[in-house]
Amino acid sequence: MFVSPFKDSIVALELSLAPVQRINPGKRLSDAVVHGSTIYLAGQVASDPSVDIKAQARDILAQIDRLLGSLGSGKTRLLSVTIFLADMADFAAMNEVWDAWVPQGDLPARATVQAKLAKPEYRIEIQAIAAK
């Protein structure tokens, strides 16, 4: 059996030449970008920032479900999630919503950090990377 010493190089070249699909591009960002079999979601914020942290988190996770679903993926295919909280005092409440949403056994890598968000009424922003 012959094994090409260039196999890995060919796969890397094919991936680098894969088209880049931008989903709902706007003035500054796209809602998502697909390259190969990887989906990169922009940071998602609540549709109604006047609600509490739990409602904002549920809204954002529903947005992620819809966006991934429209791209042929879902939360079981999440690879990495970064959660930005305006105040770490919201960490436990956010985790209650997260734990009810994320499928046990299909947990992504995750980081949660405190950050000053774009508008003071936003309590949370979530960015994710998923496989198709």
Distance CA 48, CA 42 (A): 18
The pLDDT of 32-60, averaged and rounded, is: 97
pLDDT at 17: 81
Average pLDDT, the chain: 92
Q: Which residues have C-beta within 8 Å of that of residue 120, sequence separation ≥ 6?
A: 86
DSSP string, 52-84: -HHHHHHHHHHHHHHHHHHTT--GGGEEEEEEE
Share of the chain above pLDDT 90, in %: 86
Q: Distance between terminal CA atoms of the chain?
A: 32
Distance CA 29, CA 110 (A): 23
pLDDT of residue 68 exceeding 70, the answer is yes
